[in-house]
Structure 1
């Protein structure tokens, strides 16, 4: 990890900055995001939003920049060919990656051509409320992206509910490598990846929550940590890291918020 530009261990998360509040009940929880490695005609300013309350979630709202996002003026609305499950979706290299509803199937949707360009079942992954985060919401499968690429966190019967991390090939969605942690998925509110390390948040409702665990895939080991994390609106249903901006994006009780982070250089002699 220290060989990757700007990489390090998470040591601090700032207060949330609020950019938008959803205007209907469908926006109580959802996903908002930017592509850390955009492909033309999209840019680092392009912003996407998905409201995920409902039984058939297919609409993806695209905004040219943060200003249009804050004003609520989408430049385009996509209708997906398959319904999304929960808040685990993300944008990466010009594609929307998401879990198909009521399945362990991962889909890659090319936003330029508006077609599914890859589809793969995630082997043995629990779904439809088998191993969700503590807030529920069918959050069994959660995609993430960081400086190292595309990841997915989930659990299996074999892992007995412990978080499993897999590195994915972004072109084919094939699993390249897998790690099993020692923290139960249902005991944490959410998770995200930074520089190949998984971080978990202990509560989705407490304003004074904490990032309580870190699992380093380089050393294949985990440790407890204690980094303050604020759920300002007391119902945080989505947290994702954007490696291009070095910020956390989150959806907290109708509110779309962003956090600054600080990374410290990893001590090569320290075992995570």
Structure 2
């Protein structure tokens, strides 16, 4: 048997090969077998030489499909980016709605905890558990144009019954007088009152700035005009004393805000069973609420507590039994008491979920009275009061 070598040239047109690679690809060597005399028989598999055109076509199609799909995704991203820009520029209402929804979800998640009968504060009543529907709801005596102010009853236990109203007359920021009623009946009828002029003008030193005022033992406590000072106006003697509140932000630096800021609410007075307090914020405490117990006679700061609650994340705050409670906006007709800070234990919680019905979105002032154990709210020009329930 003689072995014959055949050199067969495959006449293929290479597509993506160099000339040397082309030569190597086109030449193959096979062993033949001599049969029937001088005939050479061999098997040649041309498929080994054929370029896989069909497979190349599949890969090419797949590449084109991937490229097309990628371009579509990039186009979608570009369109989404443009949509967000347009939403930010021209549809801020929807952005605000989304922000509102996210805040509500966050608030609901924070409200899942349930407290047992824990002892907090320094009163026997325990923790604030609920608030009634409004017991009193009427327009302030100056009319609906005066949407910012405060009202209530003298908060000193044992003091004569004296209801009062203070409306901010100048730019919803400054005031210079307080109206009083000698009984609950005269307050409801609004037919007999006495006006006290604190200062002759809204724009003089020691005039009233902001709605964070209270009446305690026959004296009005308030933030002095354009300053970080505390003022005390005695209704009987007409004397005013003023004392600096150390490091307190004032004149709209740290007001109550949440959604919308309530102007010039930086320094807010409150009264509970322990006496008179002032609620404010400082740069040193990063804008978080600072709470000070003060001497009602000379306004000296007796003791101070620093919280971790950002003041501009709240709509108002008040004291009950040595416990600070803070509120936040829920809707134009509802407020939530969500936070507490216990000055006895220095413990705080952010999930109280106590709802408060209101008449208007803005909360000008909110404070507690230990005499009748009610909350007093000045809300868009309306005066509301609520009963409080404890655990």
8 A contact 1:131–1:185 mirrored in 2: yes
CA RMSD for the aligned pairs?
2.0
Partner of 2:243: 120
Following superposition, the deviation at residue 172 of structure 1 comes to 1.2
Partner of 2:303: 177
Deviations 1:65-94 (A, max 9, x none): 122222223431111133111111101112
Q: Secondary structure at the match of 1:67?
A: helix
Partner Cα separation in structure 2 for residue 51 and residue 106 of structure 1: 18
Partner Cα separation in structure 1 for residue 121 and residue 325 of structure 2: 20
Q: 1:69-148, aligned counterparts within 5 Å?
A: 69-81=187-199, 82-116=206-240, 118-134=241-257, 135-148=261-274
8 A contact 1:19–1:70 mirrored in 2: no
Q: Which runs of 4+ in 1 moved over 6 A?
A: none
Question: Which residue of 353, 359, 363 maps to 1:236?
Answer: 363
CA 1:205–1:65: 2 relative to 1, 3 Å: farther
Asked if residue 27 in structure 1 is aligned to residue 146 in structure 2, the reply is: yes
Deviations 1:119-167 (A, max 9, x none): 2100000000000001322100000000111111100111111000011
Partner Cα separation in structure 1 for residue 120 and residue 265 of structure 2: 31
Following superposition, the deviation at residue 30 of structure 1 comes to 0.8
8 A contact 2:131–2:388 mirrored in 1: yes
Following superposition, the deviation at residue 16 of structure 1 comes to 1.5
Partner Cα separation in structure 1 for residue 131 and residue 209 of structure 2: 28
Q: Secondary structure at the match of 2:385?
A: strand
Partner Cα separation in structure 2 for residue 130 and residue 217 of structure 1: 25
Partner Cα separation in structure 1 for residue 157 and residue 345 of structure 2: 30
Partner of 2:156: 37
The higher relative CO (CA closer than 8 Å, separation ≥ 6) is in: 1
TM-score norm. by structure 2 comes to 0.63
State how many pairs are aligned: 260
8 A contact 2:151–2:164 mirrored in 1: yes
Deviations 1:176-216 (A, max 9, x none): 11111111111110000000000011117532321111000
CA 1:78–1:125: 2 relative to 1, 3 Å: same
Partner Cα separation in structure 2 for residue 75 and residue 21 of structure 1: 16
When Rg is computed on C-alpha atoms for both structures, the one with the higher figure is: 2
Deviations 1:10-50 (A, max 9, x none): 010111233420353542121102112267xx612x11101
Gaps of 5+ in 1: 265-272
8 A contact 2:122–2:322 mirrored in 1: no
Asked if residue 10 in structure 1 is aligned to residue 128 in structure 2, the reply is: yes
8 A contact 2:262–2:363 mirrored in 1: no
Q: Secondary structure at the match of 2:207?
A: strand
Q: Which has the higher helix share?
A: 2
TM-score norm. by structure 1 comes to 0.89
8 A contact 1:61–1:74 mirrored in 2: no
Partner Cα separation in structure 1 for residue 125 and residue 245 of structure 2: 28
8 A contact 2:163–2:182 mirrored in 1: yes
Partner of 1:270: none
CA 1:48–1:204: 2 relative to 1, 3 Å: farther
